[in-house]
Amino acid sequence: MMSVPLYEAKAELFRLLGHPVRIRVLELLQDGPRPVRQLLAAIEVEPTGLSQHLAVLRRSGLVTAQREGSTVVYALAGGRVAGLLRAARELLTEKLTGQNELLDELLQDSTGSGTS
């Protein structure tokens, strides 16, 4: 039953995360479960678009949905999602910091650690 190589699964996971609206949803859900209405208010996207992105996240098992009366409440499925987002943030921070340092070097041209 090894149907899907792990690297395919990993690529698919990343592909699923590769959309701004889906990232925002996951970030909002990090602070706890939220009804669709609330996500909608926070995210600047049409209801239909949000539904579609939520469907993607649901199908992939990254979030869970629960109907509560007339609204539907979404929540993160498992704590590891937050860890992944944190890792991404750290990488981006490192990258941006690095760029700024490089920029500073180029502009100021007075660093002790010279390139040989």
Residues that bind DNA (CB under 7 A): 15, 18-19, 21, 35-37, 40, 45-56, 65, 67, 69-72
**Could you tell me whether strands 71-76 and 34-35 are parallel, antiparallel, or unpaired per DSSP bridges?**
antiparallel
Q: Taking CB under 8 A as the rule, does residue 106 contact a copy of itself?
A: no
Give the Cα separation of 19 and 72 in Å (integer): 22
Binder of a copy of itself out of 41, 92, 101, 111 (CB under 8 A): 92
Q: How far is the CB of 57 from DNA (least distance, A)?
A: 10
Quick one: 2 or 46, whose CB is closer to a copy of itself?
2
Own/partner pairs, 79-88, CB within 8 angstroms, 24+ separation = 81/26, 81/30, 82/30, 84/17, 85/23, 85/26, 85/27, 85/30
Binder of a copy of itself out of 8, 37, 52, 75 (CB under 8 A): 8
65 binds, among DNA, a copy of itself, none (CB under 5 to 8 A by kind): DNA
95 binds, among a copy of itself, DNA, none (CB under 5 to 8 A by kind): a copy of itself
In angstroms, the Cα distances linking 108 to 11, 34, 83, 103 are 41, 48, 37, 8
Residues binding a copy of itself (CB under 8 A): 5-20, 22-24, 27, 61, 78, 80-81, 83-92, 94-95, 98
